[in-house]
Each structure stands twice: as structure tokens, then as C-alpha cells.
Amino acid sequence: MFNLYNLLENPYSRNGILGFRIRGNLFLTISNILKESKSSAKDSFKFLTKYLATFSGEDAYTVGEAKEEAVRAIIEFVKAPDMFQCDLLDMPAVAQLEKDAKYALVYQLLKIFLTQRLDAYLDFDAANSTLLKSYGLVHEDCIAKMRLMSLVDLASVESGQISYALIKDTLSINDDEVEMWVVKAITAKLIDCKMDQMNEIVIVSRCTERVFGQRQWQSLRSKLATWRGNIANVISTIQANKITEDGTQAIGNEFEDPSLFSDGSDMVEIPSYISFNSLLFELEASLCHGKFDRDK
């Protein structure tokens, strides 16, 4: 299996030696084999999404061949208690379901899990409970997953601080359950945060994004710009300290030799600051012009 995977990921096979449909069918076969084992559920889903990705750029007729597998991918994602992000919404093989008479509701369910909160799921379940049962989805399990995903969404849009009251209302839980759900999100590695019990707020330092779209790219660009500014401040501080210590020359002259500060006794290397600052600048520029390839 490992050798087959390496063959499929080989650049030569990706560029057409095997052919997209042959590669796609191999991905699907591997996924079908792996799904028989519960311990391989994530790997099965991974190869299933690789199969669906091979339909990008194909005509509508060819993409239509993947409807059943697209539905399967959605249901597997919704069922999985430990999967909270995916790229399914971006795939033509999945997007076609949005206007499909038979599967439009399945697509809507995926969209709720990836872009909305618990209240939207509860409304959907109230109107389509029979549909959910037909796909083997357990309502209580879906609620638990949507609570975690709703908490992640709060963390991504509330500027780093979330009140206990907002968490309680969004997750439809009791006051004494708020911290329990925050701990669950931390355990699932969905967020990094601290709980301020006195002020009843959660201070978030990192959160997982359910999808990575335009809003997430803009947020990343903003963070990179902030980091670049912070690094510039660090360099300015180093410059000021060197001027104070040496008392002889401006730090601007030091930059004529970008490899180090020439003190003669205490050598301070600075290429890492300059290189990282330049890298952040390049990343920010790429994001601004839409040139950043997230797969690289």
C-alpha cells in the first residue's frame, strides 16, 4: 500500500503517465479498502477526497460520475467525531450537489457544518430529521460536533476574547457546562486559550479554521503585517541599543554589512531578523495579489 501511495504521489504520475482517471480510480479503490477498518477512517477519507479532487477541470458530465462518492465524503466528514476541517466545499465534484434535486440537502448539511453554527443545524434537523436518519447520522453526535465547531467559529471572529455568556448562548448549554466545552475544544486541539474565571472570558491565542477561504487569507495577511511590524520594532531596538553601547556610529552603517554587528567583542548576528522580515513581506505581498499557493 505504501509503495502504491508513493507511485500515485510521484510527480511523473501526477503529470499524466497514469492518467487522471486511472489515478482517481486507484484513490477510490484504496479508500474503499481502508474504510473497512475503523482505525483507518481518516486515511480512507483522505484518499476519497483525493479521488474527488481529480475531477477538477472536468466537464459537467464527467464530474457527474462522482456524485455518489461526493455524498459519501460529506456523510463521512459529518459522522467523524475527530475531523473538523476539510476542503470539500471547494471541489467541483461536491459543489455540483448544491443544485442537484436528490442531494441538495446533503450539500446544505455540509455547508452548515463548515460555515454556520449550532442554531442553523438545529433548524435543519427540525425540517429534515428523516433525511439524517437515512444516512445513519445520530442527532446527539451531530449536536456535539456542531458545538465544538461553533466554538471554533466564535474563536475565529471574536478578536481573541469570548465571554462565557456568548459561549453559553451559541452552544445552547448551561452556565456550568461552558468550561467543560472549552476544555473539550482544547483537548481536540481546536483552540489554544486561557480561561479567565473571574471575568468569565476565554482568551484565545490560536484556533483551527473549518475552511480556508478569503476571510481566512485576509486574517493571515493582517497577522503577517503585524508580525513584520513587530520585527521591525525589534530591529529598531537593537539599533538603538548598539548606538548607546558604542557611542560612535549609527546603526545604519552596520547594515552595510548584513551579516553581523561589528562590535569587536560581542558579536550579534542579525540575518535571521532581516531574512524573516523579508519573508513576511513577501508572504504579505503574495496574499495581497492572490499568488499564495496553500498546497506548497
Percentage with pLDDT > 90 across the chain: 53
Is 120 among the domain residues? no
**Per-residue confidence (pLDDT) for residue 212, from 0 to 100:** 57
Mean residue pLDDT across the chain = 81
The residue out of 191, 207, 223 marking a domain boundary is 207
Distance CA 285, CA 280 (A): 9
Question: 254 and 173, same structural domain?
Answer: no
3-state SS class at 279 = helix
Question: 179 and 159, same structural domain?
Answer: yes
Distance CA 244, CA 288 (A): 38
Percentage with pLDDT > 70 across the chain: 71
Residue-wise pLDDT for 103-162, tens only, equals 999 999 999 999 999 999 999 999 998 999 999 999 999 999 999 999 999 998 877 899
Distance CA 16, CA 271 (A): 42
Distance CA 8, CA 6 (A): 5
Domain count, the chain: 3
Distance CA 116, CA 177 (A): 21
Distance CA 222, CA 215 (A): 11
Residue-wise pLDDT for 194-212, tens only, equals 999 999 999 999 998 887 5
Is 122 among the domain residues? no
- Cβ pair 55, 62 in contact under 8 A: yes
> Closest by alpha carbon to 204, among 228, 219, 186?
186
Domain residues for the domain of 191 are 144-207
Distance CA 159, CA 162 (A): 8
Whole-structure pTM value: 0.70
Distance CA 65, CA 95 (A): 13
Question: 102 and 54, same structural domain?
Answer: yes
Between 189 and 225, the higher pLDDT residue? 189
Q: Band of the pLDDT at 268, cuts 50, 70, 90?
A: very low
Question: 242 and 154, same structural domain?
Answer: no
What radius of gyration do the chain's Cα atoms show? 25
- Kindly list the distances between the CA atom of residue 223 and the CA atoms of 123, 212, 218, 282, 284, in Å, as whole numbers in the listed order: 35, 15, 9, 13, 9
Residue-wise pLDDT for 220-260, tens only, equals 566 677 777 788 888 888 877 777 766 655 545 554 555 54
Instruction: Write the DSSP symbol of residue 258.
Output: T
The residue out of 207, 224, 245 marking a domain boundary is 207
Is 138 among the domain residues? no
Is 167 among the domain residues? yes
**Per-residue confidence (pLDDT) for residue 54, from 0 to 100:** 92
Question: 35 and 15, same structural domain?
Answer: yes
Question: 75 and 11, same structural domain?
Answer: yes
Average pLDDT rounded to a whole number, residues 18-31? 82
